[in-house]
Each structure stands twice: as C-alpha cells, then as structure tokens.
Structure 1
Amino acid sequence: MRYRRLLALPLVAVLAALLPVPAAPAAAAPPGTKDVIVTLFEWNWPSVAAECTNFLGPNGYGYVQVSPPQEHASGQQWWVAYQPVSYRIESRKGSRAEFQSMVTTCHNAGVKVLVDTVINHMTGVGSGTGWAGSTFTPYTYPGIYQTQDFHHCGRNGNDDIANYGDRYEVQNCELVNLADLATESDYVRTKIASYMNDLLALGVDGFRLDASKHMPAADIAAIKGKLSRSAYIVQEVIYGAGEPVQPTEYTGNGDVHEFRYGKDLGRVFRNEKLAYLVNFGEPWGHISSAKAVVFVDNHDTQREGGYVLTYKDNGIYALANAFMLAWPYGSPSVMSGYSFTNNDTGPPSNGAGKTNNATCFSGGWVCEHRWLVVANMVGFHNAVKGTSVINWYDNGNNHIAFGRGDKGYLTINDEDGAVNGRSYRTGMAAGRYCDVIHGSKSSATTCTGPVITVDANGWFTANIVAHDAVAIHSGAKIA
C-alpha cells in the first residue's frame, strides 16, 4: 500500500514539512485581498492575539477562525465547547474582555476574526452547570430557553436522528442527544441573532455556523436577516450521497464547507495518482468554487480516520496543503490544533480546566500553520490569486507540475524515487527565486533555502527527491 511509505519519508521531506518558519517581526499584513483561513482550534484568546501579531499577519493569513466563545458545558473533552449553556462570552478559552482584546489585536495585525458559532442546539439533554456557573435542566436554560423552544421530534425512542435519508429527522430530531433548537421560531431566531449581534459589536468579521445541515437554509437566512451588519458566513454542511439535505441548498446564505475536498485529496495522495488532480474541484462534483471553503482536514475529520490526511501523516500532509494553497478552487482553510491519541481529548489545560497558552511545538501544540511548507505556501497563494492554471504536466502517475499565470509554479514529486535534471516551463519572468518549500526569502538578495533560476524563456531545471516538491512565486523573487 502507498500508505506504508509515509513511514519512510526522505529526511528532506520531513524537515521541509516540520521545521517552523521563524516568527516574523510584528508588521501590518501585506495589502490586497487575503482569503486563507487558519483554524486555531481551542486556542485561548491571549494566544490567538499574540499569534495574529507575531505570525498570522506578517505571513499573510487573512482570517483566524476561533473556537466557540460562549459559556459551555463543564468537562475536559474538546466537544463540550460545542454544547452551549448560555450566550455569555465566558469559556475555558478566556473572558469577554480577553476576547474583545483579541479581536482588536488581530485587526491591528491585518487579520479578520471568524467565530465558530453554535446555534443549532444547546447541551446534551440533561442537567448541569456551565463553565461560568449557569445551571440548566432538560430543555430549560434560565433566561434564554424553555421546553417550547426546542424540537421534540418523537422519533427513535430518544428523539435522536437515526435516518439521514429523512429530511425531517435531520432537521427536527436531536444530533447525538443535543437539545435541538426550534429555529423556525421567531423567538429562537431573535435570541440567536442577539448572540451573534453581541459578537459583531465586539468586532468579529464573520461566523462559521456549526451543524448548519441540521437547520433549514431558510431558518439560517431569517437569522442572518436579523444581524446588525453584514458579516462573512460559512456553513458546515456535510455532503452525504443520496441524502435529501445537500450543500447547494445553503449557498444563498454564504459560503459552504466542501467536505468532499479533503476526503478526495487524501484518497488521491494515499492510494491513487496525483495525475488525477488535473481538474480537481467542480468537475469532481464539488460545489461552485466561488462558494466553497476547503481544507485538507478540520477538527472533526482529523478524528474520523479514513482517507483524510492529518498532522500525523507528516510530510505527505504538508504536500497536500501545498497543493491546496496552490490550486485555484475555493477559499483554503488551514487546520492548526494540538496532538491527541484519544479522539475525545480536549486542549492542553491546567488543573482548573482552563486552556493553556499555546506555545508552538511544545506542550502538545502542533501548530500546523507554522510548518515551513504550509506557512510559505500561504504567501504563494496570495501572490498567485486571480491567475489561472497553465502548463500542467504529469507523468501519468505521481509527479505533477503546474503554473499559476506568470506569478507562481509548483511541482510535486510523490514518486518513490527522485526526479533529476528535469526542466519545467513556468511562464514566469526570468530571474532568481526562493524555493519556498525549503526556505524563505530572507533579504532582497538571499534565501534561507535553495534558489531556483528561471531563464529568459521561462524554464528552470531542478532535482526533486522522492515525496518532495519545489515552489516559486513572484513574491519570493530575489535580486
């Protein structure tokens, strides 16, 4: 199996994937539209703020997606953050004041803030006390909701969804016993919009709407209509073959996560041929590029296993992210979280359950967004934005190459042997460029890694070891 070779990646590929980019000096983000999202999964607010200043802004990330900020159920598992107890901005990740300070700091660094927003449901049906001390009993959240504000679908003995082929169950029964809000109710819509408007008042720029599939698109549209100002919206709608609820229903509200992208990309990198990627995107049945937010993995899929690639796949994961950031389909989202062996494991925390400060490559924090390949390819993505694919090449197997207009060029050799002395036609201006897979532009005339020379006709020649790549772009040209 091709998967077995991941255990024997060449040293150069492992180092290229795992060595971090040095933190750049604090600076305003470069001008222009930046659409790369980084999910700092379960990072606390002071750590997000520091990362916006020290790394995300200087390295060209456009948005930081933060985990749900509302008061949540008690517990150490990661998923308690997705069980709201109230809409107070108080969680294990920090206080309201820390949240607002984070938003301001990120904006000052040129980074917009996208909030993972849980509005389909409250906690699992039961009784308890939330992180900030709010109590709840089944279908009763004092000052917010009572039993009439929830769906009670009367199916399957416990009201849980059992049949994803039944639209009614998907949108009116409970997702794994979570109290399902009656989002058709104007009262519920108003309460949800009040929470989102509170976040907008704190300065956030948009929302990732969790479990959107379990709310009719019209309900989301009605909630959106109650917002105090415009905001970027991306909806979590997981595609299921033959299911009645489809991602395309939701594109009228905003962007939609294309879950097939990561699964298809992982399957190709693991078991198929990179040559198949020549038309990756809409021809594969994926939604419109203009509405898609794509990812190699996210916090859910990296815990599901299967074809999806994750940080545990090391070099091959970095190459998949490089392809995503170079390929013109959708808006890319980079995952960045913490290591785990148990799928329920929550973020690194202190004895009181409060999330620890994120120290990259230490204390369990993986920081995929700082991996050299990933961070440098964000710059590639920004440099080539708006250009088309040109000069596609493949060997019919696992060696591919393509240009992005006259702005950039990527070649990936995922074969088990080196490709030596091959020439590549780029369409780029003659000159010397940093290979951003292996290093960064360190001055007007120097790189920290290899230099690629493009001749007057737009060609360069390179040796590429097995399971490695070369990438150049206009923003990494040196004198």
Structure 2
Amino acid sequence: MKPRRRRLSAATTSTILGAGLLLALTSSAAGAAPATTPARTPTLPASSTTTAPQAQGSVIVHLFQWRWESVARECADVLGPNGYGAVQVSPPQEHVVLPSAEGAEYPWWQDYQAVSYKISNTRRGTAADFAAMVRTCRDSGVQVYVDAIVNHTTGPGRGSGSAGSSWQGDAYTYPAVPYASRDFNDCRHDIADWNDPDEVWNCELLALRDLKTSRPNVRANITDYLNGLIDLGVAGFRIDAAKHVPAADLEAISAGLHDVPGYGGKPYLYQEVKEGGGPDSIKPWGYTHVGDVTDFRFHATVGTAVRDGRLNGLLDALDQDMAVAADEAVVFVDNHDTQRDDVSISYQGMGDRHDLAQTFMLAQPYGTPKVMSSYSYTQRAEGPPSTGPEAGNPAGALTAPTDCDNARWFCEHRNLNAMPTFPTAVGPAPAVPRTTDGDSRLAFDRGNRGFAAFNATDTVWHLTSPTNLPDGTYCDVANGPATCTSTTTITVTDGQLTATLPANGTLAIHVGGRGS
C-alpha cells in the first residue's frame, strides 16, 4: 500500500494517564450545571509507564457498537495476532437515550447524538472500561481510533443523556458542556440545497443541532474532548459528518491536537465526506489537506462488482476511477450506514461473497482498508444485542458482551483469518493480473511479494497460475493463520502454483508467511 499520511512513528516511552485525566473526562466542564451522577462510577486506574507500543499494520477494523471490554478482549485474542493495525470504536461521548424510535428500542443512531463530551457512562461501558480497552489494544499492537461527533449535538426534544446530563434540543441548550443557543448556527432547518456549501455547512443534517464550529469556545470544547482521548492513548479519529463542517474549522481544531503518547506525532484523521453536487469545497478532495477521507466510490465499485460476480476490469477501475489519491483514501466494502441503505452489499445480504469482497479489499493496493464487523438486524434503526436497562444506570439498554458464536453478532472480520497481514507484507507493490477465467475469477500478483485469487462463482475453481513469488511453501493467510497449518499451505514451483478454490472462495499468500 502507499504510505498513509499522518502515520504515527514509534517513540521510546508511553505514559498511560490515570486518575487526573479520567476525572477531567468524566466531570462536567467548568461553569456547567451539575449533572446526575451515573450509578456506575469509574474505578480509576493508577498511572503507569510502559514500553512504547508498536503499531503492526495499516488495516483498520470497525467493531460497530461493541462494548469496551469486548473490544479489549478482541484486540488481545484476535486483532493483534492476525495483523490488524487499528480498531475503530463507536462514539464514547455521552449520548441521548431513546427507549423507542423508528420502530426500534434504543436505536443505534442515538450514539451519534451528543449530549456532552463526558465519557463517564455510555451503553458500552464506563470511562475506566474505555481506558482499560485502550491500554489492552495498544499492548496488543492495535491502535484505537474513535468515531468522533464534532458537527452536531442532538435532535429536537429534551431529556437526560447516558451519563445523566440534561439536554434541551428545542432550546439548543446543553449545560454539561456547556453549550447555549449562540453556539449553534442560525440556519435552524434541514439542508434543502445540497449543492450550496452555506447550507451543507450551516443548516441541520437530519434535524441535528448544528454547532457553530467557527466560534472559539466551540472549537476549544471539541479540541479538549479529542485531546482528552489522545492523552488516554487514542491514536486517531474518524470525523463523522465532516462534509457538514467547513474544512477550515476542522483544520483549526486539528491544529490544536496533542501528539499521541508513545507513538509520537499527531493522531491519524479520516473524514466522512460523501460525494455529491456543488463546488469542490464540499467534495472529498476539498478536505484532503486536513486528513484522509472515506472513499464511497470504492464501496459502490467493489461492493457491486463482487456481489454481481464481475471481477474482470475491477483492478483497472480502482486504479483510474476513485475520488482521491490512494494515500488519501480510507476504503470499505460497507459501513454501518451503507449496509442499511443497501443490504445487498453487506454480510447480511451477501454471506460468503461479502467475505470475498473484504478479502479483495485487503489484497488490492488502493487506499487504507477498513474492515466491517457488525450485527444482524430486522429494523433499520435496531440497536446492538442488549442485556436491557440496568437499575440506576441512566444509559438505558446496555450493549451485551460480544459473543461471536451467537448469530446476532456477525463478527465478519474473523472470517478473514490472517488476511490483514497481507497489505503489510506486500507494501506498495503494484497489482499485476496473472490469471482470469471468465468475468468472475481473477488472480493477481502484488509485485514479487504477494499473490491472491478470487472465485466469485458458485462452482469450484481448479486454478493453475504463474506468479512472481519466489519458489517455496507459503501460508494461505486468507484461510488460516500467518503461521502455516497442514491444510493452509500453497507451494510455488518454477514460478507457478496450483490450488483449488471453493465456490466464492479466496486464496492469498505473501513473503511474510513462509512455510517450513
């Protein structure tokens, strides 16, 4: 893969902050009205000094709506051993609590409506749980990236948030920050003209109260929130709804961010900027000077092609037809929004073909790949599996610990085995087509460092293909661990390999996974 912008380098030591920082993140801002104390008060960890964490790769996995303890366990048991470089977690700030909305109880999107920047209590756990998760993931070689809500607060209405803080959306009042009416833009209706930057930036997205991010105090509140997370060890941020914040405002906020403890350098930023009409200032390439952007063209191109079994020409399309340069893009087959917009491009709609699509994403060279891992749903707004409300806890229905043996949790990333080691091993080596068999079967090299094959049909493919890989025995990381087992080896002899790919099957080998 091409080098990522704002990549973090390793430093010599890492200070994991303890009680002081957690108290700052869990208490109300100075001058704010006091809020109800949540039932589960954090147990604050002591400060400690450890050796520097080492990020091991570029692949991100989005563990959508997972509890903090479940993320920590996954980092140690699965993500680290299989080569993931980072995990994107759901928003940790205090959110609204909606017992019923859009036909669902406690919808997933309530977590994207911010009441305050406190992380003391959400349906995924406490501040102490969050801090412990960050430490465990860093110790496992996995950076933590937070889904950051900076464009808006809540929708209309009023209530109490997941940490007990009051909010009044109708009055544009959020005392736990504090925010008052003057801190929001004057256009207080939904966006009508999506080609007009003034409306896209200053009017409301789905009735969410749009923050006036040009105001110094608003910028300071957001910067303080992000810095608190960085000081806990968070290494990057997905900027939700970045298209609805002027790039100049995001640039000003990012300029005030701390260096990441241990890794050194500023946090990695990637921004949600969907394409559409209007001038360049509201298109993905209008934000790349601030950070990377999510390339929705990749989702549409790869998701559709793999779903329909059309692999021929796909590498050319990715080389020529994407929105931004490869080193400015975060790419994905589906995310939590798109899988609800079009279930046919999701694990719920594609099954094994979705695994093939995500494996292909990791094998090709364009962009920084983000793997999706989600849960099943019947209603679009349906929240994650839950243990229900807990007496005295204001967060409402609490997210259940993830159980990948439970059909409600898809855990798609586990189906990819050690495939995340592939992009790290092949680096920026170009994709070179080697073998095709009709429109639905494709094999290619990544220079002389890797080889991958894909069978987007319902029948077995008996593959014989040339390759630039050196002769030898290799681990099939698409179907097993990075250390070979007797059933996951592929042998290259005289520059050629032979293998059998099952229906909708894949194969991937690289120079970093050699057999004995």
Given the two structures, how large is their TM-score scaled by the length of structure 1? 0.87
Q: Partner of 1:406 in structure 2?
A: 448
| Closer, same or farther: CA 282–474 of 1 in aligned 2, 3 Å | closer
> Are the equivalent residues in 2 in contact too, given 1:29–1:59 (CA < 8 A)?
no
> Are the equivalent residues in 1 in contact too, given 2:195–2:277 (CA < 8 A)?
no
Q: Partner of 2:144 in structure 1?
A: 113
Q: Matches of 2:513 and 2:380 in 1, distance apart?
A: 39
Q: Matches of 2:79 and 2:238 in 1, distance apart?
A: 19
Q: Partner of 2:72 in structure 1?
A: 49
Q: Matches of 1:460 and 1:289 in 2, distance apart?
A: 30
Q: Matches of 2:359 and 2:349 in 1, distance apart?
A: 16
Shift of 1:289: 0.3
Q: Partner of 1:162 in structure 2?
A: 192
Output aligned runs, 1:19-168, within 5 Å.
Answer: 33-75=56-98, 76-89=106-119, 90-137=121-168, 138-143=171-176, 144-153=178-187, 159-168=189-198
2:468 to 427, 433, 440: 427
1:106 partner amino acid: C
Q: Deviations over 1:365-402 (max 9, x none)?
A: 1111111xx23211222221232223433345111110
Shift of 1:474: 2.2
| Residue 415 of structure 2 corresponds to residue 415 of structure 1 | no
Q: Matches of 2:53 and 2:358 in 1, distance apart?
A: 22
| Residue 306 of structure 2 corresponds to residue 269 of structure 1 | yes
| Closer, same or farther: CA 71–31 of 1 in aligned 2, 3 Å | closer
Shift of 1:201: 1.6
2:436 partner amino acid: D
> Are the equivalent residues in 1 in contact too, given 2:96–2:161 (CA < 8 A)?
yes
Shift of 1:442: 5.2
* Deviation larger for 28-37 or 57-66: 28-37
RMSD: 2.1
The secondary structure found in structure 1 opposite 2:293 is strand
| Closer, same or farther: CA 241–454 of 1 in aligned 2, 3 Å | farther
| Closer, same or farther: CA 437–205 of 1 in aligned 2, 3 Å | closer
Q: Partner of 1:453 in structure 2?
A: 491
| Closer, same or farther: CA 343–289 of 1 in aligned 2, 3 Å | same
Shift of 1:74: 0.5
| Residue 515 of structure 2 corresponds to residue 478 of structure 1 | yes
Q: Deviations over 1:228-252 (max 9, x none)?
A: 3321111010112556510001100
Q: Partner of 1:213 in structure 2?
A: 243
| Residue 187 of structure 2 corresponds to residue 171 of structure 1 | no
Q: Matches of 1:391 and 1:427 in 2, distance apart?
A: 11
2:166 partner amino acid: T
> Are the equivalent residues in 2 in contact too, given 1:196–1:227 (CA < 8 A)?
yes
Shift of 1:471: 2.1
| Residue 240 of structure 2 corresponds to residue 199 of structure 1 | no
1:326 to 359, 363, 371: 363
Stretches of structure 1 that go unaligned for 5 or more consecutive residues are 1-27
Q: Deviations over 1:347-377 (max 9, x none)?
A: 1112211111111131621111111xx2321
Given the two structures, how large is their TM-score scaled by the length of structure 2? 0.81
> Are the equivalent residues in 2 in contact too, given 1:391–1:402 (CA < 8 A)?
yes
Q: Partner of 2:102 in structure 1?
A: none
> Are the equivalent residues in 2 in contact too, given 1:250–1:256 (CA < 8 A)?
yes
Q: Deviations over 1:241-274 (max 9, x none)?
A: 5565100011001111011111111111233621
2:267 to 225, 231, 256: 231
| Closer, same or farther: CA 385–311 of 1 in aligned 2, 3 Å | farther
| Closer, same or farther: CA 29–394 of 1 in aligned 2, 3 Å | farther
Shift of 1:141: 0.5
The secondary structure found in structure 1 opposite 2:122 is coil
2:422 to 377, 380, 389: 380
Q: Partner of 1:222 in structure 2?
A: 252
Between the aligned residues of both structures, percent identity stands at 44
The secondary structure found in structure 2 opposite 1:477 is coil
Q: Matches of 1:62 and 1:441 in 2, distance apart?
A: 15
2:398 to 346, 354, 357: 354
| Residue 285 of structure 2 corresponds to residue 248 of structure 1 | yes
> Are the equivalent residues in 1 in contact too, given 2:347–2:412 (CA < 8 A)?
no
| Closer, same or farther: CA 263–149 of 1 in aligned 2, 3 Å | same
